Amino acid sequence: MKILAIESSCDETAAAVVENGRTVLSSVVATQIDEHKLYGGVVPEIASRRHCENITGVTDEALKNAGLTLDDIDAVAVTNAPGLIGALFVGVNFAKGIAAAKNIPLIAVHHIKGHIAANYITHADLEPPYMCLVVSGGHTHIVKVNSYTELETVGRTTDDAAGEAFDKAARAMGFDYPGGIHIDNASKTGDKTKYKLPRPATKGEYDFSFSGLKTAVINLVHNAKQKGEEVDINSLAASFSYTVADMLTDKFIAAAKEYGYNKIALAGGVAANSVLRSVLSQRAEKEGMKLYIPTISLCGDNAAMIGCQGYYEYLEGNIADMSLNAYATKKLHML
Ligand code: KG4
Ligand code: ZN
């Protein structure tokens, strides 16, 4: 079964063709980052406009790269939540148009479920149940993946998402948006013990809080500036990366133990972070847990992961109709 998948929830317009869930025939991502960079973050109205301009070309390219036409496509899957509402609507309406014109099933995909599904493309042997840590620009969740389509959140951030904390700390350090990758690169030559950063506590056992940590970085940089002192940015980046990676890893491993999982996975844009990948891998090995991490190219937003999750939604009979709506927020366990 060949699914054409569309993703437009934030600042990437993406289309992919995925066969039987796990075989990616093509995947095209048009990023808008260079334009949003000018404003230090994603400007929703600009994102919607660029999606409108790019979506047809990106979809044509995905079909062409797969050596197919729309007549070869069996279903169309689209991210309909969560994300920027105007951006989501572009993808949803485009997908509806294709489904109606070609009389093929329309499948709605939750963006976070898509991120988790990136692991199925990377790892042929991965099947639910397992526990997943989803870390992106908008989300930080510990999720029980009970089946391909039934997921349950057991912990989440109470303020900033991990990626948001990376981007805001990066801005204070003088890096362009999105700064996660720049902190990652800078941390490679830094001394992680040079700066001591706080690890904010939370009420919920498996919840996270990054706002205090982000503020600590901003204050450290501002105070140094006022005193005319130099900040060793590489060491601050290393310290920040290890603090975030340790906070995420400690709670995630504790949750996996509590709920009895020895199969765990990582997903989302921040899953590309080299420090997090290494700290979590080491802990998982020590605990005798099998860890699955998506290949770097599938960590950030893409449509291949949406096509993969779309396939499993289809098998479950989760087919949408022309009343399909887009939602800026949506709980993971809701269809
Ligand atoms: O999943 P994603 O592409 O979009 C959302 O659904 O939010 O995640 C984007 C986030 C951004 O905050 C970006 O800075 C972060 O992922 N990110 C990273 C790295 N690569 C991307 N954060 C830390 N280290 C990286 N290497
Ligand atoms: Zn995402």
Q: Mean pLDDT throughout 102-113?
A: 98
Tell me the CA–centroid distance for residue 107 and ligand 1, in Å: 26
Indicate if the pLDDT at residue 20 is higher than 80.
yes
Ligand 1 pocket, CB under 6 A: 10, 136-138, 163, 166-167, 178-181, 184, 268-270, 272-273, 300-301
Indicate if the pLDDT at residue 127 is higher than 80.
yes
Indicate if the pLDDT at residue 319 is higher than 80.
yes
Two structure tokens written together for 238: 């290393």
Q: What is the pLDDT of residues 39-57, one digit of tens each?
A: 999 999 999 999 999 999 9
Indicate if the pLDDT at residue 194 is higher than 90.
yes
pLDDT the model gives residue 67:
98
Distances (CA, A) of 257 to 182, 199, 206, 244: 33, 21, 12, 20
Atom number, ligand 1, closest to the C-alpha of residue 115: 1
Tell me the CA–centroid distance for residue 239 and ligand 1, in Å: 18
Domain ranges within the chain, ordered by starting residue: 2-116+298-315, 127-297
Q: What is the pLDDT of residues 246-268, one digit of tens each?
A: 999 999 999 999 999 999 999 99
Q: In what order do the strands lie in the sheet with 12-19?
A: 23-31, 12-19, 2-7, 75-81, 106-110
Q: Which ligand has the nearest atom to the CA of 178?
A: 1
Atom number, ligand 1, closest to the C-alpha of residue 83: 6
Tell me the CA–centroid distance for residue 270 and ligand 1, in Å: 4
Indicate if the pLDDT at residue 143 is higher than 70.
yes
**Residue of the CA atom closest to atom 16 of ligand 1:** 269
Atom number, ligand 1, closest to the C-alpha of residue 185: 26
Q: Under CATH, domain 2-116+298-315 is a member of which superfamily?
A: ATPase, nucleotide binding domain (3.30.420.40)
Q: Identify the three-state secondary structure at position 40.
A: coil
Q: Which pTM value belongs to this model?
A: 0.97
Q: Given this chain, do its domains 2-116+298-315 and 127-297 carry the same CATH topology?
A: yes
Q: For 45-88, give the DSSP string.
A: HHHHHHHHHHHHHHHHHHHHHTT--GGG--EEEEEEESS-HHHH
Q: How far is 215 from 142, CA to CA, in rounded Å?
A: 24
Tell me the CA–centroid distance for residue 249 and ligand 1, in Å: 17
pLDDT the model gives residue 335:
58
Q: How far is 118 from 236, CA to CA, in rounded Å?
A: 31
Please report, rounded to a whole number, the percentage of residues in the chain having pLDDT higher than 70.
100
* Fold type of domain 127-297: Nucleotidyltransferase; domain 5 (3.30.420)
Ligand 1, pocket-test mutation among 133, 136, 214, most atoms within 8 A of CB: 136
What amino acid is encoded at 232 in this protein? D
Please report, rounded to a whole number, the percentage of residues in the chain having pLDDT higher than 90.
98
Average pLDDT, the chain: 97
Q: How far is 208 from 210, CA to CA, in rounded Å?
A: 7
**Residue of the CA atom closest to atom 1 of ligand 1:** 269
Q: Identify the three-state secondary structure at position 284.
A: helix
Two structure tokens written together for 80: 């309909």
Indicate if the pLDDT at residue 2 is higher than 70.
yes
**Residue of the CA atom closest to atom 7 of ligand 1:** 137
Tell me the CA–centroid distance for residue 301 and ligand 2, in Å: 5
Tell me the CA–centroid distance for residue 272 and ligand 1, in Å: 7
Distances (CA, A) of 68 to 59, 252, 330: 11, 42, 33
Tell me the CA–centroid distance for residue 265 and ligand 2, in Å: 16
pLDDT the model gives residue 333:
77
pLDDT the model gives residue 207:
97
pLDDT the model gives residue 268:
98
Q: Mean pLDDT throughout 96-118?
A: 98
